[in-house]
Amino acid sequence: MSLEIKNLEKAYKNGVKALDKVSLTIPKGMFGLLGPNGAGKSTLMRTVATLQSPDKGEIFFEGIDVLKDPMSLRRILGYLPQEFGVYPKVSGERLLNYFANLKGISSKSDRSKLIGEILELTNLTEVRKKYVSGYSGGMKQRFGIAQLLLNNPKLIIVDEPTAGLDPAERVRFLNILREIGSRNTVIFSTHIVEDVKDLCHEVAIMNGGRILHRKSPVNAVNAIDGRVWTTSIKSEDLDSTKEKHQILSSSYNRDDSINIRIYSENHPGGEFIPAKPQLDDVYFLILKEASETPTLTI
Ligand code: ADP
């Protein structure tokens, strides 16, 4: 049940190359597409969801040639865009019932069984009688998932689902995706490293329309073990430290000193001590190296 993306290219009319020979194999499970704003994530997801056409390339899913036969993909696709429409003053349960009817689930008992299961899975059972228009941002996101599950999709694409959610709601939402991902292919995009850390079997890092890196979070972190170092410096020394070292990230302390993490194959000298690498380090390193060597693909 893997999704095969081959050499996708897309340039917008304004000249922005949003997809630059993107090739990816995405297996069953949760797949995270990580990248900063403008990386090309939405373009890639909308293209896979058959909402826009690439200039070149191919996409296959379960024997379907997606670009040649978009209707077949749409039948098994669930797509949750970054922004979706205004919801009416109708309860969550009634609205799902309405959509299920539209989808042709004509037996009332089949509908209520399915909707009951979906409400349970998306943690909305308690608020099922409340108007969707009054749902919180997180509940609306979960309702979006509930809605697409009515289709029993095999491929689920969710664009930046955690943007704007508070931490508890974020975790709740991601856990729902994980549950769905145990049976299907779920791709979700995010600019938050934390989102993909524990949840995704695999992650691709994207920027400038290119896939820069693709590994499991664990392997990605292990690959830089022994090469991340940390120390605390005075804030006025930041510029000179930047010249000498490849800084991955920095954070201010209360006393105005700065904790820095750097990448170095060997001990960088001075006060540096080894740091346990994290996925953030991989992310910053990959983005940095790619911006310094524009043709690099790791
Ligand atoms: P992301 O989802 O990672 O933020 P996008 O796919 O939205 O990235 O955008 C990739 C690049 O393409 C950005 O530079 C963006 O400004 C540009 N872009 C996106 N959509 C359009 C469009 N319809 N017309 C022109 N440029 C676009």
Reading the block at residue 150, the tokens are 């009515």
42 ligand 1 Cβ < 6 A = yes
Location of structure tokens 């890196």: 213
User: What percent of the chain stands above pLDDT 90?
Assistant: 69
Mapping DSSP to helix (H, G, I), strand (E, B) and coil, where does residue 181 land? helix
207 ligand 1 Cβ < 6 A = no
Task: For 243-292, write each residue's pLDDT tens digit.
Answer: 999 999 999 988 889 999 999 999 998 899 999 999 999 999 999 988 87
Q: How far apart are CA 196 and CA 33, in angstroms?
A: 8
Q: Is the dihedral of CA 143, 146, 151, 154 positive or negative?
A: positive
Mark 43-81 as b/e (b = at least 16 C-beta within 10 Å).
bbbbbbbbeeebeebebbbeebebbeebebbbebbbbbb
Question: What's the pLDDT score for residue 294?
Answer: 53
Cα dihedral 76/77/78/79 (nearest 10): -170
Question: What's the pLDDT score for residue 293?
Answer: 64
Q: Which residue of 8, 10, 12, 52 sits with most ligand 1 atoms within 8 Å of its CB, as the best mutation to test the pocket?
A: 12
Residue 298 in this model has a pLDDT that exceeds 50 = no
The Å distance, Cα 53 to ligand 1 centre, comes to 14
Mapping DSSP to helix (H, G, I), strand (E, B) and coil, where does residue 175 land? helix
43 ligand 1 Cβ < 6 A = yes
Task: For 10-60, write each residue's pLDDT tens digit.
Answer: 999 999 999 999 999 999 999 999 999 999 999 999 999 999 999 999 999
Q: Is the dihedral of CA 122, 123, 128, 132 positive or negative?
A: negative
The Å distance, Cα 241 to ligand 1 centre, comes to 34
Task: For 197-255, write each residue's pLDDT tens digit.
Answer: 878 888 999 999 999 989 888 999 999 999 999 999 998 999 999 999 999 999 998 88
18 ligand 1 Cβ < 6 A = yes
